[in-house]
Structure 1
Amino acid sequence: MTDYGAISVPASPCAHNTTVLQLNGRVLIEGATTKSKDGMPASPLPIAVKYSPVKQYSMPCIKSSTLIIAPLAETECDSVDHLSGSLKTPARVGDASPSSQTSRLAALRRRSSVVRDKWANKIEFLLAVIGYAVDLGNIWRFPSVCYKHGGGAFLIPYLVMLLIGGLPMFYMELALGQFHRSGCISIWKKICPMFKGIGYGICFICTFIACFYNAIIAHAVYFVFSSLQVEKPIDHFVSSINIAEVPWKSCNNSWNTELCTSSLNETLDKSGEKLRTPSEEYFLFNVLEINRSSGFEDLGGVKPSLAFCLLIVFLLVYFALWKGPRSSGKVVWVTATAPYIILTVLLVRGITLPGASKGIYYYLMPDFKKLLDPSVWTAAATQIFFSLGPGFGVLLALSSYNDFNNNCYRDALVTSVINCGTSFFAGFVIFSTLGYMAELTNRPVSEVVGDHDASLIFIVYPQAIATMSYSNCWSFIFFIMLITLGIDSTASQALSFISFSGIEALITGFCDEYPRILARKREIFVGFVIASYYFGSLPTVTYGGTYVIPYLDEYGVSLSVLFIVMCEMVAVCWFYGISRFSEDVRQMLGFYPGFYWRFCWMCCPIFIATIFLLSVYNTSISPMSIPSYTYPQWSVPLGWFLRFTSVLSVPLYAIYYLCNAKGTFTQVRLLRFSFAKNSLQICFFIIFYSRVLFLCRRQTDDR
């Protein structure tokens, strides 16, 4: 860096310890301002102008101009200060003309005129990130994946994938959001404008998530009302309350069929027909009323009681988001801490049940031979990725409300440890109860769990609760925990995707992209988004909603988010550059990331490309199926259309950007040549890497 002169800065009554001059997202001026004892502006202070001619973003020769100072760290009195002076820098070929520079500065001034909210304190931010990372997937998916792939031995690849992939990506997103202070759309103008389509792809994914994940929370709300023993939950509020039993304890109800059996130790296969427990029939024929729909092609209309529960969920989300961090920061004190209290209560209850040790042994039983199976390592990488959840734009949004000098490095370490510890802790809660169910039914624990993930929280666990004393109380506690987890949580692979944090990511992205229109009327904009999502979510609470939810999960999210996060890692690590990103971290934290972090960031694109390519390998072009149902053939092209809405946003915007790139002929030609060269290298790498993975997979299948 070279000093080129000095400039006088008029101090502000709301001055900061450190100020910087930014142009196109790059720091150009550093200095300090002060204020007098009586609070009035002090005399102007000189600050040094630093200019690097080798940086991509440079300042052309300006003799006199009005520039904007953006503070490194915000205070309660956020403002935008202005300065005037003379800057002497050498003219360079390709520099913008004074008129274009003036318009660029005017645009920067308009964007900076909107004050950005921030977290009231560090605890609120940590609780928000923990609430995002710790979700429903920690309650049932991690324990089941752990046993399926070697029990306690699965923890070895799980921890390895955490250290080489999950944690570095988590740290990177926190640092990017905090440094650039932008949402998932506008941040790419500062990192690599050509990849701005990533932000729009994230918004598509968040839309799909918000349109189906809240239906899962609505089911939990329905169970909460049912736990109070209302005769017809939600439809009639006035009824007698029985504090002893839950309605799914017996088969003597109007929704039960002849296949219902309340004798838990009776076989579930009799005369060729599969018998059902009371909790299963309650969920299928009372909560969902699935018998009123013939399948995906006939949803059967909206169920009023579930639509009301869904409305409650969206109202909770609205009041958590309408004021930004000022409101969501208060909500996370409840939604992020309550699950731990409830999990502890349920664990104490679970380990006191007969057969609990059988379930815990099932959970932790090691099978080290599984470590030789590549699918185990793939499952570990997939689980750690969807558990921490980088790539959804949420970490960018949450960290963008931090102080500039916040220690995001420590935040990443603390949050990742808490997330993985919660997954491990929740396994004891779930499998102690499943061991109790296995003891009652005289069956192995492996046969207690149903065919799909949702059966654990809405069928198996409620059935176990029904056998306990004061089952209403335990049911109420359990489903309140699911609601608090779901309200501010995000993404696991199966059904656990975000409500609170995902909508926050989308709102932050658009408010940052269009600040003068949206940021100043946030309450109205949030209300419009929530209302749109509510009506868009109504198909998930129809009588055939159970067919819509896994369909949106499969085609709208699962593969698309892997592609988006792979593009994000390529853009940051290979286009923006590890050295430049490390310099950004140094400006915030005062130290460069160590060799370990820089090496992991360099390998992050390969790490996520492995997961993506293996997922593509396992993707079928035939109609998807769930237990006892196969989707119609016409659902395949519709599903791929939903998938491409987010996937194609990246290459289409890149093509648009290249076709409309501004500058001299030489600059545009070099830009397009550089992009084509890098793209070809990446394509050759993907083809070669796919071939290697295919051969390894085929050899594994042959064995």
Structure 2
Amino acid sequence: MSGDFREYLIEMEVRAFLIPYFLSVFCAGIPLLVIEIGLGQFTGQGPVTAWGMISPLFKGIGCAGLVIQVFLDTYYVVIMAWGLYYLLFSFNAVLPYSTCSNDWNTPCCFVQAAKEQVIDVDTNGSMTRDTMTGINGTMATMMSGSFFNMSEECPNGTTSPTVEFWNRKVLQIHLSEGIHDVGAVSWQLFLCLILAWFLIYLCICKGVKSSGKVVYVTVPFPYILLTILLVRAVTLPNAVDGIIFYLKPDTSKLRDSQVWLDAATQIFYSNTLGQGFLVALGSYNKRNHNFVRDTLLYSLTNSATSLYSGFVIFAVLGFMAGKQGKEVGEVAKSDGRIVEEVRLFNRCSYSLFLFLIRSWTVYSLFLFLVLIPCSYSVFLFLVLVPYQVLDCSFLVLIPCSCSLSGPGLGFIVYPEAITEMPLSTLWAILFFLCLLFLGIDSVFVVVEGFVTTIVDIFPNTLLKGHRREFFCAGCCLFFCMAGIPMVTYGGMFIFQLFDFYAASGFVLLWVALCESLVIGWVYGGNRFMQDIINMIGKGWIKPYMLAAWMFMTPLFAGTIFIYSIVYYKPLTYEDDYVYPWWGYMLGWFMALSSILTIPVVFIYQFVFVSKGTLMERWVDGTTSRVPEIQQDGPLDKKDHSYGELELR
């Protein structure tokens, strides 16, 4: 990610995040949503074709989104594979990540529930029964009537069974020394990866019709489970302390410019801006569909659901604080050694599970409010799903100095909390089943966006007979094979590179900056606003949109882009593994492959495609190619149901 959130999350509490977040939604989030969805609906094409029709010189904006989609499709489904792995292991009377008696556990594994058996030995030799304290002190623990010196066996302290299950059983990262030594493929994770891609293929093979049927199965269950989890969370002991901590305002942090910059950055992640998905899936809308209403509704429900989901996580934090005998703030912002040893990645991030919940809830609202009465017009909102779920995509922050990351919350903290609950096996199955459904809802949209983009580039080739289905199968197979390195023993090192560079903050900010400048100043804000009025018949948002497209949004995106470059910090893993120079080169290659696409395509179009003098080339390259009939009035567009192409 562009801005390293470690220092930020140590100092800032989530309560100070709301004001700049909502202002960022107003200044950048909504205007860019209107641009991307409106562009797709107006042209009826995917991002590459759509931007080429708006301004051939800036066709690279769509190409950059396509490159980002390729990287996302490569590593995104690995998260689903992890969830499937956990789900399969949850079908046990005793959860394997709740005990230290498994063959993958180390002598340093420690179950918090057994804290009464911990004997703290001070330096003078006296012993007192207490909770585990002091990482550097001499500690011994009673196990099977014997003692062993904890400071010698575990110089870095103890670890919880959930952490060891994640690191030593799921990832098996202890068998790798780094990205230069990824080791063998974990066959269990590989099978989970294949299964995940098979499920994705079943969702997208028939296009919108098959996808629409899938969501009727995957949508209701997660919402019900979220409500159940919320009820269970608020009934846990000390949960009210976490909720009070969550709601108590803290305006002192608003003086910190970093808070405002970070809040603005999150808009580009949480709204999936700059990736081409919104343009591609916006092309499914009927021409007169009121997408502006949906955009505003989405922005509001996006933020509201984030706040709603926050009650779940902070109620759990209050429960964990009570179990540890700490204040909620101490659990959320520790001195670097939480009892559960939640030490994962190099950056703090958002909850994978809760962000999936958020995105799913937003989609479900559109499903039942718009999809049923408007046929396929709302299919574009399938794109409202978590992007960078591992990289700061959810409003609810868990500040900590131990570098908590998205998978940390989804695959360590929540399993840790589940093991503390009665009927833990049932809760674990429900949790990871919900995670699977949410992942399906999210991932197949990422792939669908890519397929839509390519199909719109080659419609005469890919929309004949069953070619689209074969193309979908080929895409799934290709991306599955491309993801194999990430299910090796050192796969997490590769995964981190993709997560940090391939679709990082400065990449999305650059694309968003170009989008706003092209619409506001090249194509013309007034002209695009008139196109929107021709489609939906309403222009009440015109003053706001013109001010945003021409001034507010470019200023927001440009400022954060420059800031993220100036304060760039190289990627590390768990703050102690430094990637080799060629690893950073690989990461920057992925980042620049999308960033440089825009200027490279611009130069190609200007030099080799456009003709005449410099001014004539500019005029030709910025002249819209949208058919006049499409600009002046309603036009029935192609049927994206994907049995066959039907032009009406």
TM-score for the superposition, normalised by structure 1: 0.69
Question: C-alpha offsets along residues 398-452 of structure 1, whole Å, 9 cap, x if unaligned?
Answer: 2211111111011111111221112111111111112211211223322356522
* CA 167–673 in structure 1, closer or farther in 2 if over 3 Å, else same: closer
User: How far has the Cα of 1:209 moved from its partner?
Assistant: 1.1
CA shift for structure 1 position 599: 1.2
CA distance, structure 2, for counterparts of residue 322 and residue 570 of structure 1:
36
Distance 1:605 1:652, change over 3 A: same
Find the residue that maps to 2:581 and give its secondary structure. coil
Q: Which has the higher helix share?
A: 2
Letter in 2 for 1:507: V
For 1:335 and 1:439, locate their aligned partners in 2 and report how far apart those are by CA, in whole Å: 35
Match of 1:329 in 2: 212
Cα distance in structure 1, aligned partners of 2:468 and 2:545 = 37
What is residue 453 of structure 2 aligned with on the other side? 509
Q: Which amino acid aligns with 2:132?
A: E
1:675 Cα deviation after fit: 8.2
- What is aligned with 1:639? 587
Aligned length: 510
> Are the aligned partners of 1:392 and 1:502 in contact in 2 as well (CA < 8 Å)?
no
Unaligned runs of 5+ in 1: 1-136, 230-241, 490-498, 677-703
Q: Assess if the C-alpha contact under 8 Å between 2:517 and 2:550 holds in 1.
A: no
Of residues 258, 267, 272, the one that matches 2:107 is 258
Partner of residue 475 from structure 2, selected from 529, 533, 537:
529
**What residue number does 2:257 align with?**
374
Q: Does 1:455 align with 2:408?
A: yes
- How far residue 661 of structure 1 moved from its aligned partner, in angstroms, is 3.0
Aligned-pair identity in percent equals 38
Taking a change above 3 Å as real, the CA distance of residues 601 and 268 of structure 1, as seen in their structure-2 partners, is: farther
Q: What is the aligned partner in structure 1 of residue 431 from structure 2?
A: 478
**Matched position secondary structure for 1:634:** helix
Matched with 2:59 is 196
CA distance in 1, matches of 2:277, 2:316: 33
> RMSD across aligned C-alpha pairs, in angstroms?
2.4
Amino acid of the structure 1 residue aligned with 2:544 = Y
Q: Is the 8 A contact 2:60 2:597 kept in 1?
A: yes
Give the drift of 1:315.
1.1
Identify the match of residue 570 of structure 1 among 517, 522, 544: 517
Please tell me whether residue 363 in structure 1 is matched to residue 227 in structure 2. no
Give the drift of 1:155: 1.3
Partner Cα separation in structure 2 for residue 673 and residue 402 of structure 1 = 30
> 2:27 — aligned with what?
164
CA pair 362-549 structure 1, distance change in 2 beyond 3 A: farther
Counterpart pick for 2:81 among 218, 221, 233? 218
**Pair 624,670 (structure 1): closer, same or farther in 2 beyond 3 Å:** farther
Deviation (angstroms), 1:146: 8.6
| Displacement of 1:487 | 2.4
Match of 2:160 in 1: 277
What is the deviation of 1:589?
0.6
Matches within 5 A, 1:142-153: 149-153=12-16
When residues 306 and 579 of structure 1 are mapped into structure 2, their CA distance, relative to the original with a 3 A threshold, is same
Aligned 8 A contact 1:623 1:633 in 2: no
Q: Deviations over 1:14-63 (max 9, x none)?
A: xxxxxxxxxxxxxxxxxxxxxxxxxxxxxxxxxxxxxxxxxxxxxxxxxx
- 268 and 288 in structure 1: CA distance in 2 versus 1, 3 angstrom threshold: farther
Amino acid corresponding to residue 487 of structure 1 in structure 2? I
The aligned amino acid for 2:271 is: L
The question of whether the paired residues in 2 share the 8 Å contact of 1:147 and 1:363 is answered with: no
> What's the secondary structure of 1:281's corresponding residue?
helix
- 147 and 636 in structure 1: CA distance in 2 versus 1, 3 angstrom threshold: closer
In 2: Cα distance, 1:618 partner to 1:362 partner: 31
Q: What residue number does 2:605 align with?
A: 657
Q: Quick one: structure 1 residues 146 and 477, their matched pair in 2 at CA, closer, same or farther if it must change by over 3 Å?
A: farther
| Bigger mean CA offset, 476-485 vs 313-322 | 476-485
SS of aligned partner of 1:273? coil
CA offsets 1:621-668 (integer angstroms, 9 cap, x no match): x564434322122212222112111111111111110112345x35x5
Task: Tell which structure's C-alpha radius of gyration is larger.
Answer: 1
Alignment check: 8 A CA contact 2:268 2:509 kept: no
Structure 1 residue 379 displacement after superposition = 1.3
SS of 2:49 mapped into structure 1: coil
Q: Given that residues 519 and 549 in structure 2 are in contact (C-alpha distance below 8 angstroms), is that contact kept between their aligned partners in structure 1?
A: no
Q: For residues 444 and 564 of structure 2, what CA distance do their matches in structure 1 show?
A: 27
C-alpha distance 414-268 of structure 1, shift in aligned 2 (>3 A): farther
Which residue is equivalent to 2:555? 606
**Mapping for residues 538-557 of structure 1, pairs under 5 Å:** 538-557=484-503
CA contact (8 A) 1:390 1:565 kept: yes
Deviations 1:653-694 (A, max 9, x none): 11110112345x35x543348989xxxxxxxxxxxxxxxxxx
**Which AA in structure 2 matches 1:526?**
C
1:388-407 superposed matches below 5 A: 388-407=271-290
Could you say which residue in structure 1 is the equivalent of 2:536? 589
Relative CO higher for 1 or 2, CA cutoff 8 Å, sep ≥ 6? 2
Q: Relative to 1, partners in 2 of residues 1:586 and 1:145: Cα closer, same or farther, differing over 3 Å?
A: farther
Secondary structure of 2:538's match?
A: coil
The one-character-per-residue Cα deviations of 1:91-138 (angstroms, maximum 9, x if unpaired) are: xxxxxxxxxxxxxxxxxxxxxxxxxxxxxxxxxxxxxxxxxxxxxx9x
> Counterpart of 1:572 in structure 2: which amino acid?
I
Instruction: State the Cα deviation string for residues 528-575 of structure 1 (Å, max 9, x = none).
Output: 111100000111111111111111111211032222222222222221
Aligned residue runs from structure 1 range 305-316, under 5 A: 305-316=188-199
**2:549 partner SS:** helix
Distance 1:588 1:247 in 2: 56
Distance in 2 (alpha carbons) for counterparts of 1:462 and 1:150: 24
Instruction: Sort the Cα spacing of 1:630 and 1:336 in 2 relative to 1 into closer, same or farther, 3 A.
Output: farther
Q: Give yes or no for the alignment of 1:436 onto 2:319.
A: yes
Q: CA deviation at 1:147?
A: 9.2
Q: Which residue of structure 2 lines up, in the alignment, with residue 681 of structure 1?
A: none
Supply the distance in 1 between the matched residues of 2:418 and 2:36 (Cα, whole angstroms): 40
Moved over 6 A (4+): 144-147, 673-676
Match of 2:566 in 1: 617
- Partners of 1:150 and 1:366 within 8 A in 2: no
- The answer as to whether partners of 1:146 and 1:154 remain within 8 angstroms in 2 is no
Counterpart amino acid of residue 410 in structure 2: I
Q: Following TM superposition, by how much is the alpha carbon of 1:600 offset from its aligned partner in structure 2, in angstroms?
A: 1.4
Does 2:67 correspond to 1:246? no
How far the C-alpha of 1:335 sits from its partner, in A, is 3.5
Match of 1:185 in 2: 48
Say if 1:346 and 1:429, in contact at 8 Å, map to a contact too.
yes
SS in 1 for 2:108: coil
Answer with 363-372 or 274-283: which moved more: 363-372
Moved more, 390-399 or 527-536: 390-399
Deviation per residue, 1:600-622 (Å, 9 max, x gap):
122222221122111112213x5
Q: Is the 8 A contact 1:356 1:434 kept in 2?
A: yes
Question: Is the 1:320–1:500 Cα contact (8 Å) retained in structure 2?
Answer: yes
Change over 3 Å in CA distance of 1:601–1:335 after alignment to 2: farther
Between the aligned partners of 2:61 and 2:447, the Cα distance in structure 1 is: 16
> 1:432/1:554 Cα in 2 relative to 1: closer, same or farther (>3 Å)?
same
Equivalent residue of 2:183, what SS? coil
The answer (yes or no) to whether the contact 1:255–1:285 under 8 Å persists in 2 is yes
